[in-house]
Amino acid sequence: MRNKEDFPLDLSSIKDFLSTGSTLQSPNEVQLHVLRGWGWSTLKSYNVGIRKFLQFMRTVVNPWNLPANKDDIYNFCCWAGRQHAITKPQEILLKTLKHYLYGLKAWHRYHDIAYPEVDERRVELLLLASKKEDCLQLLEQKRKAVELHHMVPLAMQLTGGSDLNMAIFDVVCVAFWGMARLSELTYTLKEGVLDYRSSVLARDVIFNSNRMAAAVVLRGTKMCQPALKRRLEKVTNMEDSLFGTYIGGKRRNLVKSDVVTACSRIWKMAGFEGISGHSFRIGGTSLRVALGISRADICFLGRWTSDSYALYV
């Protein structure tokens, strides 16, 4: 029979879970066996939850010990969750709070102590209230959209330079006018064979008869026709990436980090802050709303399946 020293996990890293709060405890043989029933990553996450709960208990009682009572559970939900018109340094997202409550139940199970007989519907309502506040805060922290004047410094700094800079400018033009995310147009591999099912290749561009409009087949989206023309002029193999450049005879594909780094550097020099890669999609959509483009056309061109774009504009 193995003793606790043979346990293959570092018990010191889950000491909050093993303790009763202010009192550290060493697991007995049965408790060690119970611990082995959980995954190590699960135990560590439960330990974080117990640590958070004990942090709360220190604010309301001394000594700050477990087990909890039902009022502790209710008050913890209020203390850790977001509340209306109140900003607290300890507040966490609902998803995290729910996981911490799982950890609290696991603590009681490990210590063989009955979990408090709480009103589950009451707990559910407390969590629902915090969920609403999470959603409201996310809406208040909307990402800044790229506007036309943000495109000007990109054009000034990227055009007329290296092939790589020109490729970066073309991809941001297509993202903006095509209401696309950079992740849809860039690649996961800088070099090598790309997966045609998830990558935009040169062959995927189709122009209309007078070459005044263009679409990328895999995305089904009308995009920036001049930028697509420039990209095709630079490609020697239609199976190559649409957005990239040749370096030493090899195709280098644009990855998202290349584009974001270049744009962020230029925007910072121009005094623009808080703009992300997702902003091209939102910026292009906002422009069309301002131009009076119909809801149906915006949803079609931007591949929005509902009016959810309205949250950002």
Partner residues linked to 221 by β-bridges: 216
Q: What is the pTM of this model?
A: 0.48
What tokens does 217 get?
């087949």
Q: For 20-69, how does the pLDDT look when each residue is reduced to its tens digit (9 = 90+)?
A: 988 888 999 999 999 999 988 899 999 999 999 999 999 987 677 888 99
Nearest CA to 104 among 148, 83, 73, 59? 73
C-alpha to C-alpha distance for 266 and 284, rounded to whole angstroms? 19
Per-residue pLDDT for 8 more than 60?
Answer: no
| DSSP, res 19 | S
Q: For 199-255, how does the pLDDT look when each residue is reduced to its tens digit (9 = 90+)?
A: 676 766 666 666 666 665 544 444 566 777 777 777 767 777 777 888 888 888 888
CA dihedral 282, 287, 291, 296 (to 10 degrees): -20
| 151-155, 276-280, 282-286 — most confident range | 151-155
In order of their start, the domains of the chain are: 4-140 (1.10.150.130), 148-311 (1.10.443.10)
In order of 8, 41, 263, the CA distances from 105 in angstroms are 24, 17, 47
| Number of Cα atoms under 13 Å in the Cβ half of residue 95 | 2
Tell me, rounded to whole angstroms, the distance of Cα 140 from its chain centroid.
17
Residue 4 pLDDT class (50, 70, 90 cuts): very low
For 127, phi then psi, to 5°, come to -70, -40
